[in-house]
Amino acid sequence: MTLTTTAVLVPLLPFLGAVAGLFLGRRAPGFVRPLAVLPTLAAAALTVVVAVGQGGGTATDVATRLTPTGSIPIDLALHVDGFAALMAVLVGVVATCVQLYSTAYLREDPRYASYAALVSLFTSAMLLVVYTGDLMVLLVGWEVMGICSYFLVGHYWETETARAASLKAFLVTKLGDVPFLFGIFALAADAGTFRITGILGSVANRGLDHPTLIALLLLAGVAGKSAQFPLHTWLPDAMAGPTPVSALIHAATMVAAGIYVVARLLPVFAASAAALIVMAVMAAITMVGSGLAALAQDDIKRVLAYSTVGQLGYMLGALAVGDRGAAVFHLLTHGAFKALLFLGAGVIIHAAGTNSLAAMSRMTGLARRIPDAYWTVTVALLALAAIPPFAGFFSKEAVLGAAEHAATGGAHGIPGAAGWTVLVSGLLTALLTAAYATRLWLLVFKGSGVEAPDHGRQPLVMNAVLWVLFVPTLALGLTAPFLPDWFDGRSLAPALTTSVLGTGIAVAGGLVTYAAWRHTTALAARTPIGAVIADPDAPPGLAEETAIATHAPVYGSVAAAPDPADPGRLLLGPLQPHAAVGFHLDAVYTALFVRPVRAAATLVRFLDREVVDTYVRGAGAAPRWLGAAVRRAQTGNVQTYLGALLAGSLVLAVAAVLIATGTGA
Amino acid sequence: MHLAYPAVLAVLLFCTGLYGVLARRNAILVLMSVELMLNAVNLNLVAFDVWLRDTLHAGQALTLFTITVAAAEIGIGLAIVLLVYRNRGSSDIDRLRDLAERPDGADAEATNRQPDTEAEATA
């Protein structure tokens, strides 16, 4: 098999698996699991084959034209370079892990068949986005992911939270997708082609006519998909979906698509200094804001969701300073350790029977119940906090190093302001990241109080997947010396200044949180907080669904809990209530969009009911009154009728005679 | 004989019949008035047939048809009048108003009540 055939098969296999799974799901339940796991596994193996075949050499670029369009042609193009090959490996591995994990996690779920098919379809769309060399084809994958995300977030549609979250995810990402579509059209109109290689070629040769406009339009779509400020609000709410979905879609792949597209089209963005500044500011606001918000969340998955938003901010920051190697490197390591964190969170939620950190901090011995999750999640949190020698350290240092390089004016064509913005906010975020990672770890594993409920051993496959993802979390950073061959050739090795500074800040953040926790943990015993613990024998999916559905009624909010023993409360001080609700961005959206739309709907309802319907009712009433008048003539007396008939005939006869003789007219 | 005599006689007969149909209350008298009108027409048919000297005598032939039809009509009509009289105890035309429209909204109830009023009338 040539490299091209293999690469074509990669998105095709999960797609066929999804189609087969959807059709056979009801009729042959025995085939659902193999159909879910095997095509994804095969695709993952093929991505490795493609990556080995590509080997960081020159990009493979082939295309076939289906039909002429009359203007700018649309090609089924394949573009496999180092970025695409490695991204595809990440997608394939994470998707396989998620499919395996789901077989145990949702083992008794009645909708498992459609769920698994949608995950396969999603994987296929993401792989299409990664491998395609044509923006229109990329858009197809992009939108398929959007709709799959909608269905999967709404998997527990019996709960109100999940329904609202799926709608919100869909609408907010669509809000970004519309400008994205216009951006693609504008870009293709300027460059004369939808092919990415063609676009990059024309950018390099003669530049674009409207670089800033195009970059900002594309950036809106990226902000929607990659959950960047101000369109990030859907991601924390999307945690109402099942945990494997959060791991696959909202950590490792879909949100990565936005970053990946910017990385592919980076010269287009780099053509406009204004766009780079906007990107840097957006990334900075996202990073710092999400770090503060993560510190105030009570739902373990919402903490991770905000941390995803923040890490994506790092990647966008790296792109804003023109280093796509660092961005994609962080994307790869983040994909590995964030998938591990989410899948570990699924195990923790099942074991604790609740998703509330406040409730977990009042349980003893949760770490003993789930030793596999304890060790892997601990290492993943260290990687998240960028502690050496774990994967996150190397990639985050690469980002900070690139920012420092740009800030000191070492990068050609990159505004120094963008470099400084990313560097300062990146260092501040390193502090916050370490703080919320430490808080999460302390609250989950170092709780004190009653013994944690015994749910027995976690399913073997779930633990096995955690250890599979543990390997890249531990060791992916060590590949830093080899990766530049696959990317642009710029060194990704950590620089001394930023490494010491970043690690020092992270350790400081961890220590401060630990001190705050020591200070507040005594309060925990005095303020008991109960939890709705799911039935110990319930399958993990059901336990999580119960936890999601009961969080708001029990603690008064989906995001926060009134827990005085929370170290985040002490650290954030007066900011805490605002951070818990994401700095009121949802309230702003409500005032800006929801209320005007509701008011407009009320107006339309009024116009329809009171104005249009009045005419309709009037049109009915007039004939009714006429009818009532005519009915009075129906007396029932035959002789009256005959008299009227005679009189009428006479009148007609006279009239006919007069007209015939011509005297009347 | 001049055509005016039978024509005037026919007009008089027809008008008498018309008046009877429109004004009499008794059904039998109404039927008799209808007969008068029919015969006025017959008279005209015969008179014009002669005046036009029609070789086929279509007017006279048509008169025979009319007489036949009138005989059948009066037979059925009298039978109906007889049945109405037996049911209602009266054959006054202006009291047979079952098909009258009631005022607004009373339609459904009126049709439902119909059998009751009839029953009362028979009693």
Q: Choose from B97, B98, B111 for mutation: most chain A CBs within 10 A.
A: B97
With cut-offs at 50, 70 and 90, classify the pLDDT of residue B105: low
Written as one letter, the residue type at A30 is G
Least reliable range by pLDDT among A145-154, A443-452, B48-57: A443-452
What mean pLDDT do residues A406-421 have?
80
Determine what percent of chain B is predicted with pLDDT higher than 90: 55
Determine what percent of chain A is predicted with pLDDT higher than 70: 97
Report yes or no for ipTM above 0.90: no
Of A628, A631, A643, the CB nearest to B22: A643
pLDDT at A118 over 80: yes
pLDDT value at residue A530: 67
With cut-offs at 50, 70 and 90, classify the pLDDT of residue B76: very high
Least reliable range by pLDDT among A169-178, A246-255, A438-447, B33-42: A246-255
What is the dotted CATH code of the domain comprising B4-122? 1.10.287.3510
What's the burial of A66, exposed, middle or buried (CB within 10 Å: 0-12/13-18/19+)? exposed
pLDDT value at residue B108: 47
Spatial contact of B31 and B81, defined as CB atoms under 8 Å apart: yes
pLDDT value at residue B116: 45
Q: Do B96 and A628 touch (CB under 8 A)?
A: no
User: Which candidate, A223, A220, A214, places its Cα nearest to that of A186?
Assistant: A214
Least reliable range by pLDDT among A400-409, B56-65, B101-110: B101-110
Return all residues near A182 (Cβ < 8 A) that are at least 6 apart: A217
Q: Do B100 and A635 touch (CB under 8 A)?
A: yes
With cut-offs at 50, 70 and 90, classify the pLDDT of residue A597: very high
Chain A residues touching residue B104 (CB < 8 angstroms)? 628
Helix-helix angle A254-264:A135-153, to 10 degrees: 160
What mean pLDDT do residues A194-220 have?
86
Report yes or no: A55 at the B interface, CB cutoff 8 Å: no
Which two three-digit tokens encode residue A395? 């990639």
Range picked from A27-36, A315-324, B30-39 for highest mean pLDDT: B30-39
pLDDT at B114 over 70: no
Query: Which has the higher per-residue pLDDT, A560 or A345?
Result: A345
pLDDT value at residue A606: 94
Tokens 């609700």 identify what position? A581
Average pLDDT, chain A: 85
pLDDT digits (tens, 9 = 90+) for A48-77: 888 888 876 777 788 888 777 778 888 888
Where do the domains of chain A lie?
272-575, 584-626, 633-665
pLDDT digits (tens, 9 = 90+) for B39-67: 999 999 999 999 998 888 899 999 999 99
Q: Which A residues, 556 through 615, put their C-beta within 8 Å of a C-beta on chain B?
A: none
Q: Which A residues, 636 through 665, put their C-beta within 8 Å of a C-beta on chain B?
A: 636-639, 642-643, 646
Chain A residues touching residue B101 (CB < 8 angstroms)? 631-632, 634-636
pLDDT digits (tens, 9 = 90+) for A607-625: 999 999 999 998 999 999 9
Q: Long-range contacts for A269-272 (Cβ within 8 Å, ≥24 apart)?
A: A269/A215, A269/A218, A269/A219, A269/A319, A270/A322, A270/A413, A270/A414, A271/A203, A271/A207, A271/A208, A271/A211, A271/A215, A272/A211, A272/A212, A272/A215
What mean pLDDT do residues A396-421 have?
83
Where do the domains of chain B lie?
4-122
Size of interface A-B (CB pairs under 8 A): 31
- pTM attached to this predicted model: 0.78
pLDDT value at residue A322: 84
Q: Long-range contacts for A633-638 (Cβ within 8 Å, ≥24 apart)?
A: A634/B99, A634/B100, A634/B101, A635/B97, A635/B100, A635/B101, A636/B96, A636/B97, A636/B98, A636/B99, A636/B100, A636/B101, A637/B93, A637/B94, A637/B97, A637/B100, A638/B93, A638/B96
pLDDT digits (tens, 9 = 90+) for A83-101: 888 889 999 999 999 988 8
